[in-house]
Structure 1
Amino acid sequence: MGSSPVQGHPVTVSLKELEQGSVSFETLTEAFGPSSLGIIVVKDLPARFRDLRATALSNASLVAALPPAELDALSSPASKYLVGWSCGKETLRSGRFDTLKGSYYGAPADHFPDFPQYTAPNLWPSPQLLPTFRGSVEQLCALIIDTAALVARACDRYALANIEGYRSGYLEHVVRTSLTTKARLLHYFPAVEDVVGNRDGGGDDDDSDDDDNDDGDDDGDDDWCATHVDHSCLTGLTSAMFVDEEANPPASLSSSSATASSNIPELPNSPDPKAGLYIRSRTGQVVKVNIPKDCLAFQTGEALELITRGRFRAVPHFVRGVRRARGKIARNTLTNSTHIGASAARAGGEVVCGLCEGGG
């Protein structure tokens, strides 16, 4: 990708339009349909969103800077490292372990022992070390789920009118009640100096908890997150926060002396204009998608494609890392994948149930 990236322009709707149920079927088809980018942006969010995003994403850098003993205590081998902190546990296609990013996973339920990767108890950092971590992550995830439910309600209206036998309110019920929803707070570590521009070992993993349908490496551009589609119904995501950890070392903030307002200053934009989220369009064109900082975006996953019998399509996407930038530039983001729980999957049929039980 030597030239400037092609900019994609996702469909944008307001939160009020979703609440009022006034998003047209044409708009939904433009956002999710066969010729779409498979992503919708929601604007005019509650005023608290801006601060929640800033605090939660800042905490991604802070938790990654904790001492090894603290991070070990936040790790969960029983959940296959899909609850709590995970770094260097996932094997890439090359056979090496992914150490270019760290993840903090959270799940809403803990009483299904057969699926510990989704339902093991959450592991939270000590409030003495990171006083704002738990509150900001929980509140931001709740806001994302509430907004996802409104997007799902709009999809339900469309499906009820266009799909024979569709059960009214099915997708919204899944989003609001699933016990296998998974949140992932991601910290992409700054590039090591001698591999900037040649990150050939860090792009074979994905940007959510369960996404594994790799479509290739797009000529090496997907060095922070390989091309994949999500298993989920809808994946909610914030815009990425870029921070300079050389100018603002997170270790100096992740300590008992840190205050509730100790956020790492956010860069106004990515120092590398080519870094960020890319989507492979239905025509095969690769386009870059920018999510405004005051908005949320929702991508379609495989489960939604199955639920809507192909009317809405899962979106292949990847993340390109920062290259040729001064300082130690890290990227933080949060995704929340709304999955189909076992009971809802049974109602959706054998194929959908397979996504629930096989999406590890």
Structure 2
Amino acid sequence: MISKDPSTDQPTAVSVTLQELKDGTVSLATLEQAFGPDSLGIILVSDLPERFAEMRKTLLSYSSYLANLSEEELVKCEKPEVQYNIGWSCGKETLGNGRFDTLKGSYYAQVLHDEALEAKARELYPNLGAMTGSNVWPDEKVLPGFRKAYEDLCLLIVDVASLVARSCDRYGAAKLEGYETGTLEKIVKTSISTKARLLHYFPPPTTAAEDSSDDGWCATHLDLGALTGLTSQMFVDEAIHKPFSADGSFAPLTEMDAHPDPSAGLWIKDRSGKTTQVDIPRDCLGFQTGRALELITQGKFKAVPHFVRGARASKAGSIARNTLAVFTQPNLWDMVDEKRDFATLAQEVFAATYEKK
């Protein structure tokens, strides 16, 4: 059953506290409401460590700084040989209407590291550089502190994701025959396939045509992995709060309370095709279900179709949107069903994605 707001009868995301996850007191019914076949496929986690608020604001501010670097510096952080699945990219993806997405910049990085496992992945899957390649970072002199801010926040999100995974494992052990205890928690804590993506949605040019499609910023899609950790979105008016100071130093940007267009942001499609906007509070993290989790739980938990709706041109002005997603994913050799390892699933998804282009 989908959780609903009793005052509006509209679907809402299920919310739990970090302490409930630590104590293991999140009920199986709550997990079904969050991730089951009739759910929105997302759970919100509140009461995060105090440092989270500052870490979030810092990294999401860096997203604007990064996207406003010179073309010369950004090209140094591109990796076209791995389909831009590491480092910086802009204008390489297509939207639902087939147009190349020039209004979104992103920065991918591998989150967890283990030299032995990384060597194993490269040896077993030499043609899957998108999943085994090494990170690339801007020069520390050009964007000081960026790498540390990125890595620190991602590791905190992985720590919280591992607790969500532990609750999912309790569900699997209780509901699924032959489910191995600790399966998902082990994936989240140790997989070197886990990646993060820092996103910057540029303010659209004033000459941009109005996009009538729902998924104007990001085409409707399913995430590939197990659990996707999401920060709340940061809206910044870059005409007022420019991403670089006169001396080139970094300082967190002033965040807008809300976007002038209330429809801008994350939308989820439920199993009937109805769309619901999901607002992640600034002091919370959201965790969405992906394809690998659906397979691992034999369909008990469902991957959630979602998209990001762009602001109407008349209301977008100079406003940018920044956010971070951390995709916890199985190791490439981990089996996601009886016939496929995660590498096979990833290759199938990549092939479908680039065939569309």
Q: Which one of 16, 19, 25 corresponds to residue 16 of structure 1?
A: 19
> Using a 3 Å threshold, how does the CA distance of structure 1 residues 54 and 355 change in structure 2: closer, same or farther?
same
Q: Which one of 300, 319, 343 corresponds to residue 289 of structure 2?
A: 300
Equivalent runs, 1:170-209 vs 2, <5 Å: 170-195=183-208, 198-199=210-211
Match of 2:319 in 1: 329
Q: TM-score, normalized by length of structure 1? A: 0.87
Q: Distance in 1 between matches of 2:238 and 2:330?
A: 38
Match of 1:143 in 2: 156
Alpha carbons 1:38, 1:313 under 8 Å: kept: yes
Q: Mean Cα displacement is larger for which, 12-21 or 321-330?
A: 321-330
Alpha carbons 1:229, 1:302 under 8 Å: kept: yes
Q: Which amino acid aligns with 1:173?
A: K
Q: Distance in 1 between matches of 2:299 and 2:157?
A: 25
Q: Which one of 145, 150, 158 corresponds to residue 132 of structure 1?
A: 145
Alpha carbons 1:40, 1:297 under 8 Å: kept: yes
Pair 1:39-2:29 in alignment: no
> Using a 3 Å threshold, how does the CA distance of structure 1 residues 158 and 182 change in structure 2: closer, same or farther?
same
Alpha carbons 2:95, 2:219 under 8 Å: kept: no
Pair 1:235-2:228 in alignment: yes
Aligned residues: 331
- Alpha-carbon deviations, 1:262-314, whole Å to 9, x = none? 11111011221111111111232211111000100000111111111111111
Alpha carbons 1:129, 1:256 under 8 Å: kept: no
Alpha carbons 1:128, 1:256 under 8 Å: kept: no
Q: Which amino acid aligns with 1:257?
A: G
Task: Tell me how far 1:100 sits from its aligned partner.
Answer: 1.0
List runs of 5+ in structure 2 lacking aligned partners: 1-7, 351-357
Pair 1:284-2:273 in alignment: yes
Q: Which runs of 4+ in 1 moved over 3 A?
A: 5-8, 91-96, 108-113, 356-359
Q: Which amino acid aligns with 2:334?
A: A
Match of 2:87 in 1: 84
Task: Tell me how far 1:245 sits from its aligned partner.
Answer: 0.8
Q: Distance in 1 between matches of 2:298 and 2:134?
A: 34
- Alpha-carbon deviations, 1:206-249, whole Å to 9, x = none? xxxxxxxxxxxxx6111001111111111111010000011112
Q: Distance in 1 between matches of 2:217 and 2:295?
A: 28
What is the alpha-carbon root mean square deviation over aligned residues?
A: 2.0
Q: Which amino acid aligns with 1:58?
A: S
- Alpha-carbon deviations, 1:135-193, whole Å to 9, x = none? 11101100111111111110000010110011110111111111111110000010111
Q: Mean Cα displacement is larger for which, 224-233 or 329-338?
A: 224-233
Q: Distance in 2 between matches of 1:96 and 1:222?
A: 12
Question: What secondary structure, in the 3-state scheme, does the structure 1 residue paired with 2:254 have?
Answer: coil
Task: Tell me how far 1:337 sits from its aligned partner.
Answer: 0.7
Match of 1:212 in 2: none
Task: Tell me how far 1:352 sits from its aligned partner.
Answer: 4.8
Q: Which one of 301, 305, 315 corresponds to residue 312 of structure 1?
A: 301
Alpha carbons 2:267, 2:309 under 8 Å: kept: yes
Q: Distance in 1 between matches of 2:330 and 2:63?
A: 27
Match of 1:74 in 2: 77
List runs of 5+ in structure 1 lacking aligned partners: 200-218
Q: Distance in 1 between matches of 2:203 and 2:232?
A: 18
Q: Which amino acid aligns with 2:299?
A: G
Q: Which amino acid aligns with 2:263?
A: K
Alpha carbons 1:12, 1:40 under 8 Å: kept: yes
Alpha carbons 2:96, 2:218 under 8 Å: kept: no
Q: Distance in 2 between matches of 1:94 and 1:275?
A: 18
Q: Mean Cα displacement is larger for which, 85-94 or 53-62?
A: 85-94
Instruction: Using the aligned pairs only, state the percent identity.
Output: 50
Question: What secondary structure, in the 3-state scheme, does the structure 2 residue paired with 1:322 have?
Answer: coil
Q: Which one of 169, 173, 195 corresponds to residue 182 of structure 2?
A: 169
Question: What secondary structure, in the 3-state scheme, does the structure 2 residue paired with 1:69 have?
Answer: helix
Q: Which one of 22, 26, 29 corresponds to residue 29 of structure 2?
A: 26
Task: Tell me how far 1:94 sits from its aligned partner.
Answer: 5.5
Task: Tell me how far 1:359 sits from its aligned partner.
Answer: 3.6
Alpha carbons 1:7, 1:288 under 8 Å: kept: no
> Using a 3 Å threshold, how does the CA distance of structure 1 residues 326 and 106 change in structure 2: closer, same or farther?
closer
Q: Which one of 36, 42, 60 corresponds to residue 57 of structure 1?
A: 60
Q: Mean Cα displacement is larger for which, 123-132 or 49-58?
A: 123-132
Q: Mean Cα displacement is larger for which, 85-94 or 56-65?
A: 85-94
Q: Which amino acid aligns with 1:335?
A: A
Alpha carbons 1:11, 1:40 under 8 Å: kept: yes
Q: TM-score, normalized by length of structure 2? A: 0.88
Alpha carbons 1:307, 1:352 under 8 Å: kept: no
